Amino acid sequence: MSRRKWLISVVLVVTAFVASGCWDRVELEDVAWVQAIGFDKGPVEGFLSTTMEIGVPRNLRGGGGPTPSAGPSPHYVTITVVSRTALEALDLAALNLGRRVSLVHAQLFLFGEELARSDLRALAQAVDRFREIRGNTPVAIAHGHAEDLLRVNISPLEVSPSRFLMTIMQQHEQTGLFEKATFVRDFVNLVESSSSSPRCPVLSLASDYKPSTSQTGGGAAGSTGAEDPAESFPSSPQVGERVEPKVDLGQFTPSQNTTDLEGWQVPIAGGGPVVMMGLALFQGGKMVGTLTGEETRTVLMARNDFENGSFAVPDPTAPGKPDLSLGVGASGAKSKVKVTRDGDQVGIKVDIEVTVTYLSPKTQTDFSDPRMTPVAETAIEDYLKSILDRTIGKCQAAGSDVFEFGDRVKATFWTWPEFEAFAWLSKFPTAKIETAFHAKIVRYGLDLGPLVVPPSENARRQ
């Protein structure tokens, strides 16, 4: 081999070692991989409580489970550190864990409600700029404290917290009861936006969640390593235990359903300890309110982001009977938004077309009769319109344009300076917004008409 080829070979070999960073390598086993990170207000003004949920890979392997020698081992540990910034929290956590803390595989950024209501602008920017963060990491708001959520954040069906976070996010497509994951990058874009307001899905502790004795007594089980925190939550309630609703369901109108609640209010017993439902409304970096699951659906419909969901619409033929309803399903919604502007006054017309199928009508009226179709369609339209109108009112009162109407308003201007001077978000609360729904029933299900009531039963009733 010529001297030149030797030289090139040596350079390439040396380069291969150097370029791969062998002198400052970090072994996988030397890193603590954060699966979710939460932020709350610190105990003192100006401080931040950062909670990290860190996977324990050796226990995730093969479904985890107790190890014979060491007793039951958690699939993850949580650590909460108080510091002025999140960056310092990572350093301080490393001192405690004995590993470098990495956010490269973080699956969720969770902000506590109190912190979100103060202002997230600076923190969101700090998160977005950190080089380990990927812009497609979902962001959510914790009803209450993020640290509480992360200490119990596990589903009985999943081994890994990150897997649970991924699967729970997918439920948006099936239910529409929360917004598709808002990503760090989207959130930051919206905080800076002059046309729309930021929003996030809301994650809350289930209404039946009670801290276990080990948690109330000696701190969070997850962080002690003595017990899996998920196991401290009874996934299957005891015999005789009843659901204790946190809201007075007796006060509900016949058209109101439990999907029209926030996650922490949903009457539930057993299953997982957390619920993801509803939408947090923001004005700039400040959280200013929340929407229920049903309200979130209408926001998504108005934005053409609604995918699937089922509704229980009050039976129009039996107005006084809340036990009767039309169980319908909607797949997708086409929204047309028209904006007119006269000086400072903005008029918005929202027309939404929904294609509906009968899923499980709970009624005594034969809605498969074609003559009843317009009646059912009107009932569905009225039901959805009433929720959308209420939601728009709520958002206008909060000054949060989560419908992205501002994007349409932008189209009425030729230049950006004109649009910026108009200050749409300050005009949104006074905009005149008209809504209309057009429901179209396309599938009637597998049966025609309701169950037959025998003449003898009718006679007995009379």
Partner 1 sequence: MSNGNRKGQLHIPGGHIGWIEATAMLLIYSTVKTFYAFPSTISKLAGTTAWSVPIFSALASVFWLWALVSVLKAHPGEDIIAITRSLMGPYAAFGFGTVFCLINIGIVGTAAAELLQAIGTTLLPTTPPFFLVALGFSVITYVSIHGVEVLGRVAAIVAVLAVGLLALTTILSIDMWKPASLLPLLGPGIGPLLKTYGVRQAMYLEVLPIGVLAPYLRKPDDSGRTVRWAVGATAVYSALAILICEVMFPYPSLNLMVEPLQRVTRLIYLGRFFQRFDAVLSPVWLLSAMVHGSVGVVATSLGATSTLSLSSPKTLKLIIVVVAALMTVVAILVPNLALAIVADFDLLHPYSVILLDTWPLALWAAGRLRGRAGRRKGDSPG
Q: How far is the CB of 24 from partner 1 (least distance, A)?
A: 5
Residue 2 engages partner 1 in binding (rule: CB under 8 A): no
Nearest CA to 280 among 195, 167, 204? Answer: 204
Integer angstrom CA distances of residue 333 from 176, 307, 349, 355: 11, 7, 16, 7
Q: How far is the CB of 128 from partner 1 (least distance, A)?
A: 9
318 DSSP assignment: -
DSSP-based three-state secondary structure for 254 = coil
Residue 195 engages partner 1 in binding (rule: CB under 8 A): yes
Angle, CA 330 vertex, CA 181 and CA 202 arms, to 5°:
25
> In the window 173-192, what residues touch partner 1 (CB under 8 A)?
183, 185, 188-189, 192
- Contact predicate 236/269, CB 8 Å: no
Residue 135 engages partner 1 in binding (rule: CB under 8 A): yes
Residue (184 or 384) nearer to partner 1, CB: 184
Distance CA 84, CA 71 (A): 37
Residue 418 engages partner 1 in binding (rule: CB under 8 A): yes
Q: How far is the CB of 173 from partner 1 (least distance, A)?
A: 13
Residue (22 or 459) nearer to partner 1, CB: 22
- Contact predicate 385/354, CB 8 Å: no
Place of tokens 């539930």: 268
Residue (132 or 241) nearer to partner 1, CB: 132
Q: How far is the CB of 411 from partner 1 (least distance, A)?
A: 5
The contacts of residue 455 (CB under 8 Å, 6+ apart) are: none
Q: What does residue 368 show for φ and ψ, rounded to 5 degrees?
A: -80, -10
Residue (282 or 437) nearer to partner 1, CB: 282
Distance CA 152, CA 273 (A): 7
> Can you give the length of the chain in residues?
462
Q: What does residue 460 show for φ and ψ, rounded to 5 degrees?
A: -65, -40
- Contact predicate 112/118, CB 8 Å: no
Q: Which stretch binds partner 1 (CB under 8 A): 222-230, 318-326, 403-411, 449-457?
A: 403-411
Residue 3 engages partner 1 in binding (rule: CB under 8 A): no
Q: Which of 47, 252, 413, 444 binds partner 1 (CB under 8 A)?
A: 413
Size of the site for partner 1 (CB under 8 A): 29
Q: How far is the CB of 326 from partner 1 (least distance, A)?
A: 33
Q: How far is the CB of 134 from partner 1 (least distance, A)?
A: 5
Using the CB atoms, write b or e for 175-210: b if 16+ within 10 Å.
Answer: bbbbbbbbbbebbbebbebebbbbbbbbbbbbbbbe
Q: How far is the CB of 25 from partner 1 (least distance, A)?
A: 9
- Contact predicate 54/97, CB 8 Å: yes
Q: Which of 238, 414, 455, 462 binds partner 1 (CB under 8 A)?
A: 414
> In the window 11-50, what residues touch partner 1 (CB under 8 A)?
11, 15, 18-19, 21, 24
Residue (193 or 365) nearer to partner 1, CB: 193
Q: Which of 9, 67, 96, 136 binds partner 1 (CB under 8 A)?
A: 136
Residue 338 engages partner 1 in binding (rule: CB under 8 A): no
Distance CA 430, CA 351 (A): 20
Residue (149 or 302) nearer to partner 1, CB: 302
Distance CA 408, CA 195 (A): 9
Binding site for partner 1 (CB under 8 A): 11, 15, 18-19, 21, 24, 131, 134-136, 183, 185, 188-189, 192-193, 195, 404, 407-408, 410-411, 413-419
